[in-house]
Amino acid sequence: MSTLTNSTPIIETVGLRRTFKGRGEAVEAVAGVDLRVLAGDIFGFLGPNGAGKTTTLRILATLLPPTAGSARVAGFDVARQAREVRTRIGYVAQSGGSYREATGREELIIQGRLFGMSKADSSIRAAEILEALDLTDAADRTCGTYSGGMRRRLNIGIGMVHRPALLFLDEPTTGLDPQARARMWEEIRKLRETGTTVFLTTHYLEEADALCDRLAIIDHGKIVAEGSPSELKHDIAGDVVTIGVNGHADQVVKLLEAQPYVREACLEDGLVRLYVDSGEAAVPAVLRLLDAHGMAPSTMNLHRPSLDDVFLKKTGRSLRETAA
Amino acid sequence: MRSFRDTWLIYQRSLTLSLRNPVWVIMGIGQPILYLLLFGPLLTNIAKLPGFPPGGAFNVFVPGILVMTALFGSGYVGFSLCDEMREGVVERMRVTPMSRVAMLLGRSLRDVTLLEGQALILVILAIPFGLEINLGGVVVAFALLALVGLMMSPVSYTLALILKSEDSLAPVVNGVAVPLLLLSGVMLPMSFAPDWLQTVAKFNPLYHAVAAIRELFNGSYGDTEILIGVVILAVLAVVTISFGARSFSRAAA
């Protein structure tokens, strides 16, 4: 369906903003977002709850007009050419989309028909999707009887009926058990194989790490980092050394900060965290330094950076604390 | 063309879902049946008083009951929309190229269909009590009742899109429906009311709906009340439908 090549951005936003006027002051949920998503990627939008992920997604899916800035999705402007955008995208909200008193098959067929398909074509397509998502046995049961994972798969199926070039998934695995989550990841990877671009939001670091080709980290309505998971981990964090010290932690931080091989030192959960280029080189140097100052670490750990380190570095907070 | 097709698709879908779980449809007719059985007979003696409109007690009362069924039935249709919004159905459909008018009109026509079914049952039940009808009048009366539904349903859906939850919707609908009911002459004819109350009632479109349906049931086709009722209801239905359709295209649900 898509004529876009892999080097074309399928999403491009410039200075995207959205302000909500509450009772008191106006809240800027999206505060100037510039994004480029290439066709064919699984693009992750990572951030804590309330960071502006869903608002951005809703703007891109034509549900919410931006207060300022512009966004082109699948080659069209979301504000001025909403209808053109809608025919080319699929959107699966966090709230789902399937109605509990309708059957899975009914939901797929009506969705196809609302995209202009004939009754016959839509029925064939529905059967195809049910088969692909392993829902054929449940097809004629009402959605209310589905398990959480089945319902989520159906909702994605509903978003795919018209073979969109781009699929938006808002928190596709929130609330799923590990097994259902693994299954969902598998389905999302399959979408990429068929050439569909997937734009998903998540507050799970493991998910962004395991699934996404590229990702953007958003906090307080602004993008704080963007790149592939490995780029982000390498460029931003380097290796991480955590050191347990008994008392005088501030002193240790100050001391280590001054060392040329330390990019950054901070205190987190009573542990000193060091961001360094090479952990192997840094550990003996740190030990020697502390020893020279008559201090002995109680614990010392070296680990490769995770996206949480990236998040912590960029926002000063841990995503694990802020996630609900 | 697209709007017609989409309206038909949404109409079919909503009607199927309503009939699959008809608890609302049954509850919607339970109350008017109670009024018919337990309140209607009170009017037989009152009908002998001077000032009671022409026609028997039930010819005055049943048109009112039909309008009351339309008022409360259509008034609460927003509840089902709150439910659909919570499950993301409305949002999902708003990201399709479908017509926004169809989202409203498909559902409203479903409501009208159910309303007509309820009205038919009520009329048949009322005949043994002494309701005298002529077929032509009833057919036109049912068309007028459809206009009442088409005027009221969009109001309920628009409120649902704004308020988003049944808890907020219920008091608002009640707050609007009860004064409309009292000022429509459903329970007792407005001819018993003092002048000021009669004047206030004339601003209530449902008062004119009741008056027009009474004339139709009595076979007085030439009465100007019928024309007034049709014009007022048709104009208001167009207004509420256009307003409701705009709410569907804007809804941040």
SS3 A9: strand
The predicted pLDDT at position A135 comes to 96
The predicted pLDDT at position A276 comes to 86
Q: Are strands A214-219 and A42-46 parallel, antiparallel or unpaired?
A: parallel
In a domain, A178, yes or no: yes
Q: Is the pLDDT of residue B49 over 70?
A: yes
Subunit contact B87:A87, Cβ cutoff 8 A: no
Shared domain check, A254 and A219: no
Subunit contact B97:A97, Cβ cutoff 8 A: no
In a domain, A277, yes or no: yes
What confidence tens digit (pLDDT) does each residue in A77-100 have? 999 999 999 999 999 998 899 999
A81 shares contact with chain B (CB less than 8 Å) = no
Compare B243 and A232 and report the one with higher pLDDT: B243
Name the residue among B21, B89, B97 with its Cβ closest to that of A83. B97
A83 shares contact with chain B (CB less than 8 Å) = yes
Å between A21 CA and nearest CA of chain B:
13
Looking at residue A139, which CATH number applies to its domain? Answer: 3.40.50.300
Q: What is the largest CA-CA distance in chain B?
A: 60
Q: Span A256-267, mean pLDDT?
A: 86
The predicted pLDDT at position B253 comes to 37
Q: Is the pLDDT of residue A318 over 90?
A: no
Q: Is the pLDDT of residue B130 over 70?
A: yes
In a domain, A4, yes or no: no
Shared domain check, A185 and A68: yes
Shared domain check, A218 and A125: yes
ipTM: 0.91
Q: Confidence class of residue A237 from pLDDT cuts 50, 70 and 90? A: low
Shared domain check, A292 and A195: no
3-state secondary structure A83-136: HHHHHHEEEEECCECCCCCCEHHHHHHHHHHHCCCCHHHHHHHHHHHHHHCCCH
Shared domain check, A224 and A255: no
In a domain, A74, yes or no: yes
In a domain, A18, yes or no: yes
Q: Span A186-208, mean pLDDT?
A: 90
Å between A79 CA and nearest CA of chain B:
12
Shared domain check, A248 and A126: no
Q: Span A143-163, mean pLDDT?
A: 95
CB A43 within 8 A of CB A214: yes
- Nearest by Cα to B142 from B116, B122, B118: B116
What confidence tens digit (pLDDT) does each residue in A8-28 have? 799 999 999 999 887 778 888
Q: Confidence class of residue A321 from pLDDT cuts 50, 70 and 90? A: low
Instruction: Choose one of A228, A258, A276: the last residue of a domain.
Output: A228
Shared domain check, A98 and A217: yes
φ, ψ at B208 (rounded to 5°): -70, -35
Looking at residue A268, which CATH number applies to its domain? Answer: 3.30.70.100
Interface of B to A at Cβ within 8 Å reads: 6, 9, 13, 16-17, 20-21, 84, 86-89, 91-98, 252
Q: Confidence class of residue A263 from pLDDT cuts 50, 70 and 90? A: confident
Domain that holds residue A168: 9-228
Question: B193-228 burial, b if ≥16 CB within 10 A, otherwise e?
Answer: beeeeeeebeebbbbbbbbbbbbbbbbeeebebbeb
Shared domain check, A265 and A126: no
In a domain, A319, yes or no: no
The predicted pLDDT at position B223 comes to 85
Shared domain check, A85 and A60: yes
CA–CA separation, B153 and B93 (whole Å): 19
In a domain, A317, yes or no: no
Q: Is the pLDDT of residue B252 over 60?
A: no
Å between A227 CA and nearest CA of chain B:
29
CA A122 from centre of chain: 31
Q: Where are the beta strands (DSSP E) in A110-238?
A: 166-170, 197-202, 214-219, 222-227
Name the residue among B20, B97, B252 with its Cβ closest to that of A86. B97
φ, ψ at A19 (rounded to 5°): -110, 135
CB A197 within 8 A of CB A167: yes
CB B20 within 8 A of CB B34: no
Q: Span B15-23, mean pLDDT?
A: 91
Q: Confidence class of residue A310 from pLDDT cuts 50, 70 and 90? A: confident
CB B55 within 8 A of CB B214: yes
Residue type (1 letter), A61: A
Shared domain check, A223 and A256: no
Subunit contact A116:B97, Cβ cutoff 8 A: yes
Shared domain check, A203 and A93: yes
What confidence tens digit (pLDDT) does each residue in A22-61 have? 777 888 899 999 999 999 999 999 988 888 999 999 999 9
Q: How many CA atoms lie within 13 A of B92 on its CB side?
A: 29
Name the residue among A64, A89, A99 with its Cβ closest to that of B87. A99
Q: Is the pLDDT of residue A322 over 70?
A: no
The predicted pLDDT at position A320 comes to 66
Q: Is the pLDDT of residue A1 over 50?
A: no
Residue of A nearest to B248 (CA): A63
Q: Is the pLDDT of residue A5 over 60?
A: no
Query: Beta-carbon neighbour count of residue A159 at 10 Å?
Result: 23
Subunit contact A96:B87, Cβ cutoff 8 A: yes
Shared domain check, A78 and A187: yes
CA–CA separation, A308 and A299 (whole Å): 21
Which uninterrupted H or E stretch holds B158? helix B135-163
Number of domains in chain A: 2
Å between B165 CA and nearest CA of chain A:
15
Contacts of A192 (CB under 8 A, 6+ apart): A40, A41, A42, A198, A213
DSSP state of A52: S
Q: Span B220-243, mean pLDDT?
A: 93
The predicted pLDDT at position A323 comes to 47
In a domain, A114, yes or no: yes
Contacts of A291 (CB under 8 A, 6+ apart): none
Which uninterrupted H or E stretch holds A299? strand A299-303
What confidence tens digit (pLDDT) does each residue in B177-225 have? 999 999 998 878 888 889 999 999 999 999 999 999 999 998 888 889 8
The predicted pLDDT at position A71 comes to 96
DSSP state of A173: T
Query: Beta-carbon neighbour count of residue B35 at 10 Å?
Result: 18
Q: Is the pLDDT of residue A6 over 70?
A: no
Q: What is the mean pLDDT of chain B?
A: 92
Q: Is the pLDDT of residue B114 over 60?
A: yes
Tracing tokens 């398990």 back to the chain, one arrives at A147
The predicted pLDDT at position A235 comes to 73
Contacts of B153 (CB under 8 A, 6+ apart): B74, B77, B107, B108, B111, B112
Q: Alpha carbon of B124 to those of B57, B62, B67, B146, B216: distances in Å?
A: 16, 11, 16, 18, 16
What's the whole-model pTM score?
A: 0.86
Residue type (1 letter), A201: T
Name the residue among A86, A96, A101 with its Cβ closest to that of B21. A101
Name the residue among A63, A94, A102 with its Cβ closest to that of B95. A63
Instruction: Choose one of A228, A257, A280: the last residue of a domain.
Output: A228
